[in-house]
Structure formats: structure tokens, C-alpha cells
Amino acid sequence: MKVSIYVRVSSDRQVEKELSVPAQVKAIQQYCLEKGWIIVNEFIEKGKSAKTDDRPEFQKMIALAKRPNRPFDAVVVHKFDRFSRKRDDHVIYKALLNQSGVKVISVTEQTEAETPQDMLLEGMLEVISEFFNANLATEVRKGMTQNAKLGYNNGGTPPYGYRTEHIALGNSKTKAVWVLGPREEIDVVKWIFNQYAHEGIGYTKIASELNRRQIPSQKGGTWASSTIRAIIFNEAYVGRRCWNKQDYQTKGKKWRDRSEWIITENAHPSIISEDIFNKCQENAKKRNTGGGETHKPFDSKLASPFWLRGVMVCEKCGSRMVGNSTSSKMKGGKKQYYVCGGYLRKGKDFCPYAGWNKERIEEIVSNRLRIHIMSLLMGNNLVEEMRQFYTESNQQHTTQKIIMESELEFLKKRIELIEDDISIGKAKPYHQEMLAEMQNELREKSESYLRLTSNWSEFHVPKEYVAGIRYDIHSFISLLDQEVPNPQLLHALASKYISKLYINRDTKKIYLSLQLTMNDKLMYEKTMVSEWK
């Protein structure tokens, strides 16, 4: 039986314990060797929790198992909790694999789930594993909460201007605290707060000035406006430690109410005073009506009207273009533009400013898209366009295949002639040697031909795929034709099918590339050029 092995450790520390990656792999290999099974794939997950299915190697393994030509018949794990510690995930994915004819086998918990008793035992093991995980999470949470109340660090990188230091508490225990970093970093933090509080300088200009002075950021790169904003609103700089601000079950998307935060005053040395920090918060509120919020509630962000955001890129630096609006108080009223994200984050030293009128660029792109995708709906154009693209993309491969087939056929005929001469006694003394050389050449060319054609397949597009594309195209056209289009739905379709969109600043030409893929395979690509007028 051909099998794949799945190995997981949930933290870097576990790598050094008995359930480390090498230990799990060795145990599984030994088990498979005893069973006479062949290991064809290894999926190794480092530092990933089994509480969720958001694991790259795990998802890659599931996707491979669902293929019609799957290369393995079973997944072997060290223990079932390596596969999943969440009962519903375990059941769902195990059932999914079972539908594809793939078993999940544990080395240390050997149940085949073929009898009611085995199914009960396996279910109990899964439930115990999930309980252990949930209970462990609760206990860890308690410890981290107490840690935060005492002002200790619960992990993570300290803010710019601070460093982590471990202090001894006795009984060989240590705790992490934040201490002041290098003098030059402390001076930079003070300068940033002073510029924002007293000089009226904004995030972008502060970042640009630091980059001009070639002062490295925390990670050694350039400064961005978002980095400056994070510093201005970070209460750590007044010596205050805030923990439990975000709900990590939502991966940090949901912010908790401030009443739920664990706030510790004087947890570490402060760099700036409370007065200058508060002055910065007041200035932020004045500069931007929403800028002074300590955090924004979950899903409170208004839907963006810019449906080409992130799809369009800056021709000069490659950054994604983002939506930007001028103030309604300015002359001429509020105007909207697509602006280089690199410019907004890092300033004009990183990329010269270039904004494009939102209404105009969306109008040009809509007209160009509408014309082209409508033509794909006519008759069998969609399939024929994909067939032509496939043929052109594989033209060199096809030519090479035809040449090799001719060479193989020629060699076979020559070998047959020599073998005939030998069989009737007409062969010369050197014919036997020639035959051996030609047979060796035929073998080598046959192997080359096999390698060339192993990944080769004739053009084939499932009807379901074509139907899905046609449905999306109909939806796209319908949205573009609406008097007031829905920017969220348009953005979803544009992100799915537009692979490239940029404007050449010198020629004012707009380049729009449409792309269709199937199972990560490029099926069709077309680049259209329009004029900016």
C-alpha cells in the first residue's frame, strides 16, 4: 500500500522534545517498514496548531488526496491529535478522505474503525484529545493573564526603542520584561512624538524624513506612514502595558472593549510623557475624524467604493494602487483617486506621487472589459479561445514531440532491417555491433520521449468549469451595466480575473490583462491596451 505521512509540531519548543519532527518521522517510517507500506509523500507542519484546519501542508495533503489520480491510499500519523485536535474537523476531514478511498492511520493508537468497538475507541481518543487541547488553552490563558497583570511580557517583539530582557525569579524561573533600547532609538521615538505633537508634521512626512536621513526602521528597512501611526498610538511609550486587546480567535480582526484589556501602569520605563502622548491623540482627532480612535470595532469599517483597489498596480514601483479621497471642503468638492500605496506609506522619496481619477479609470476599464468578455460569450468562443491559447503556449512542446516521434519511428525501422539481415544470414560482421548501438540509442530516445510526454495532456476543459466562467462573465456584465454598480461584488470578480492593470505614465496607455486558471493551471490570458484620454 502506498501511504503519505503527516507530521506536525505546534511550537518550536516541541521540536526539541520527544514528539519532534525527526522522532515522529522515524516512528512512522519504522511502522510502515514493518507493514511493507511504501511512503510516497511527506507532509511536515512546523509550528502549527491542530485546533484549526488552517495549515498549509495539511490542506495540500487533503487536496492531493481528492484528486482522481491520487498517489497514496492512506495517511499515517504518529497520533490522531497530530491530524486534528478539534472533533468536528477530525470527523469532517476523515470522512472527506474516506470518500476518496483514503484511510487515516495512527502509529500509536492503532484502530482500523472497522468494528463498532474500534469506532467507539477512536472516537473516545479524539474527544480526549480535544478536551486536552481546550483545557490546556484555558490554563495557558490563566497564566498569561496573571503574567500581564504583573507587567511581564507574554511574548512578541517589543516596540521600537525597547528590548526584551529576562530576569531571574528563583527556582530557575525567569520572566521577560521590556527595557530601554539603544540611545539613538530612544531619541528617534522622542523626535517622532515631538514632530507630531508640536510641529504639526504628519505620518508620511515624518517617515520620509527618517528615510532621507537613512535611519533604519525596527526591521532594518524603510519607514512607512503606518509604522509612524502605530508608534503615535502605542501606549507602551508612556510605560503602560496593554494586553488582551484583540480576540485572537478571529486572528486579531476583532478588538475587545477596553474594559476587557489587562492594563498595567509603570510596567517598564517610559520614553515620553503622558502630556505629549495625549497631545498627539488630540492632534490625530483634529487631522482625521476617525484617526484618533484607539481601535475600530470589528466589521465597523465602511465598504470601499474603489473596486479596482489592489488590482491596479503602480507602473513605477509595483505597489498596489489604493483608493484615496480629497476633503469635501476643498475647492471643487470631494474628489476620488487611485493612488500608489507605496507613496502613501513611505512618501515621495520611495515613489513619485501619481494619482489617477477614479471615475475615469473605472469607466475606461469597464468599457474595455465589457467589450472583450461579451465576445467570449458568443457561441463557443470561450472554449475556442482557451484551445488556441493552449495550442500556442505548447507549440514548442508539440513540435519537439513530433520530431522525437519521427526519430523513434526511423530508428525502429532501421533496427528491423538489420535484424532481418541477421536472421537470413546476409549480415556483415559489424552489423551486430551496429544493432547494439542502435538499440541503445532507441532506449535512450524512448526514455527522453517518456519524460517529455509524462506531463503532457490533450486539451480538455470540463463543462462545469466552462459553465462557471460563463456565469461569472454574465454577472460581471450585469454589474458593469448597473446605474450604481456594487463595488464589493465588482472587486471580487476583478480580483479573480484581472491579473494585471497599470498605466504607463509616459505614454498614458492602460494595460489590462485578463486571466483564466483551472487548478492553478493557466488556461487563457489576454492583454488589452487602451488610451488614457
State the Cα–Cα distance between residues 343 and 224, nearest whole angstrom.
9
485: CB partners within 8 A, 6+ apart: 307, 479
C-alpha cell at 449: 520521449
Residue 155, all three cell numbers: 511574548
Chain centroid to CA 395: how far? 32
Strand (E) or helix (H) holding 247: strand 246-247
Cα 436 to Cα 442: distance, rounded to the nearest angstrom:
10
The grid cell for 72 is 497514496
Can you read off the three cell numbers belonging to residue 472?
461569472
Q: Which of 10, 129, 208, 225 is catalytic?
A: 10
Could you identify the residue written with the cell 481546550?
A: 134
User: Minimal CA–CA distance to 72: which of 81, 54, 84, 60?
Assistant: 60
Q: By C-alpha distance, which of 517, 460, 494, 489 is closest to 368? A: 494
CA distance 297 to 487: 22
Instruction: List 502's β-bridge partners, or say none.
Output: 511
Asked whether the beta carbons of 527 and 513 are under 8 A apart, the reply is: yes
Strand partners, 336: 325
Cross-strand bridge partners of residue 124? none
Please check whether residue 75 is in contact with residue 104, taking contact to mean a CB–CB distance below 8 angstroms. yes
Q: Would you say 372 and 363 are in contact if contact means Cβ atoms under 8 Å apart? A: no
H/E stretch holding 196: helix 183-198
- pLDDT tens-digit profile, the chain (533 residues): 888 888 877 654 444 444 678 888 888 888 888 888 888 888 888 765 545 456 788 888 887 887 777 888 888 888 777 666 555 455 556 656 766 678 888 887 765 555 565 565 556 555 655 655 555 556 666 767 777 777 777 767 889 999 988 877 766 677 888 899 999 999 999 999 999 998 888 888 899 999 989 999 988 888 988 899 999 999 999 998 887 777 655 454 567 777 778 888 888 899 999 999 999 998 888 876 444 444 444 444 556 889 998 899 998 888 999 988 875 555 556 789 999 988 888 888 888 877 899 999 999 999 999 888 888 888 888 889 888 888 887 777 777 778 888 888 888 888 888 888 888 877 777 778 888 888 888 888 888 888 777 766 677 888 888 888 888 888 888 888 887 778 888 888 898 899 999 999 889 899 999 999 887 788 889 999 998 87
Distances (CA, A) of 400 to 391, 414, 452: 13, 21, 9
> What DSSP assignment string belongs to 344-393?
HHH-TTTS---EEEHHHHHHHHHHHHHHHHHHHHSTTHHHHHHHHHHHHH
Kind plus residue range of the DSSP H or E element containing 491: helix 487-497
| Spatial contact of 512 and 498, defined as CB atoms under 8 Å apart | yes
d(CA 76, CA 126): 16
- Given the C-alpha cell 520521449, which residue does it identify? 449
268 Ramachandran zone, left/alpha/beta (phi>0; psi -120 to 50): beta
- How far is Cα 16 from Cα 25, in angstroms, rounded to an integer? 14
How far the first Cα of the chain sits from its last, in Å, is 65
* pTM higher than 0.85: no
Strands 2-9 and 74-77: parallel
The 3-state secondary structure of 38-90, one letter per residue: EEEEEEEEECCCCCCCCCHHHHHHHHHHCCCCCCCCEEEECCHHHHCCCHHHH
Residue 107 phi/psi, 5-degree rounding, is -70, -45
Q: How far is CA 66 from CA 96, 406, 420, in A?
A: 8, 38, 51
Helix (H, G, I), strand (E, B) or coil at 524: strand
With the CA atoms of 157, 159, 160 and 162 taken in that order, what torsion angle do they form, in degrees rounded to the nearest 10?
-90
Range 55-58 contact pairs with CB under 8 angstroms and sequence separation of 24 or more: 55/8, 57/6, 57/8, 58/6, 58/8
Active-site residue flag, 10? yes
Angle at 146 between CA 141 and CA 150, to 5 degrees: 145
pLDDT score for 293: 47
The burial of 238, by beta-carbon neighbours within 10 Å (0-12 exposed, 13-18 middle, 19 or more buried), is given as: middle
H helices, E strands: number in the chain: 16, 16
In degrees, rounded to 5, the angle at the alpha carbon of residue 238 between the alpha carbons of residues 232 and 240 is: 105
Written as one string, the DSSP assignment of 418-460 is HHHHHHTT---TTHHHHHHHHHHHHHHHHHHHHHHHHT-----
